[in-house]
Amino acid sequence: MIKALFEYQFLQNAFLSSILASVVCGIIGVIIVEKKLVMMSGGIAHTSYGGVGLGYLLGFEPIIGAFLFSICAALGIGCIKRKSSTHTDVIIGLFWSLGMALGILFIALMPGYPPDLSSYLFGSILSVTKADLYLMISLTFIVVLVIIVLFNDWKAYLFDEEFASIIGIKTAFLEYLLLVLIAMTVVVLIRVVGIILVLALLTAPAASAGMLTSNLKKRMLYAVIFGNIFCLAGLWISYKINIASGASIVILSIICYFLLYTLRFIFKLRPYSHRQD
Q: Is the model's pLDDT at 273 over the cut of 50?
A: no
Which residue pairs from 14-19 have beta carbons closer than 8 angstroms and sit at least 24 positions apart in sequence? 14/125, 14/126, 14/128, 14/235, 14/245, 15/232, 15/235, 16/133, 17/125, 17/128, 17/132, 17/133, 17/136, 17/191, 17/192, 18/125, 18/192, 18/228, 18/231, 18/232, 18/235, 19/228, 19/231
pLDDT 10s digits, 103-118: 999 999 988 777 878 7
pLDDT top residue among 74 and 272: 74
When comparing pLDDT for 161 and 44, which is higher? 44
- Across all residues in the chain, what is the average pLDDT? 85
pLDDT of residue 5: 59
From the options 3.30.420.40, 1.10.3470.10, 3.40.50.300, 3.40.30.10, give the CATH code of 2-266. 1.10.3470.10
3-state secondary structure 230-264: HHHHHHHHHHHHCCCHHHHHHHHHHHHHHHHHHHH
**List of residues 6+ apart from 261 with CB closer than 8 A:** 211
Could you tell me the pLDDT band of residue 28, with boundaries at 50, 70 and 90?
Answer: very high
Residue range 208-228: average pLDDT?
90
Q: Is the pLDDT of residue 243 over 90?
A: no
Tens-place pLDDT, residues 107-147: 999 887 778 787 788 877 777 888 888 888 888 899 999 99
What confidence category does residue 275 fall into, taking pLDDT thresholds of 50, 70 and 90?
Answer: very low
Distances (CA, A) of 264 to 49, 60, 208, 273: 38, 48, 11, 14
How far apart (Å, rounded) are the C-alpha atoms in residues 273 and 170? 26
Cβ-contact 179, 74 below 8 angstroms: yes
2 or 67: which carries more pLDDT confidence?
A: 67
Which pLDDT value is given to residue 85? 66
**Confidence check: pLDDT of 270 > 60:** no
Sequence spans of domains, the chain:
2-266
- Bigger pLDDT: 42 vs 9: 42
232 pLDDT higher than 70: yes
Q: What is the pLDDT of residue 3?
A: 59
On the question of pLDDT at 41 being above 80, the answer is yes
Q: Find the length of the chain.
A: 277
Compute the average pLDDT of residues 79-91: 79
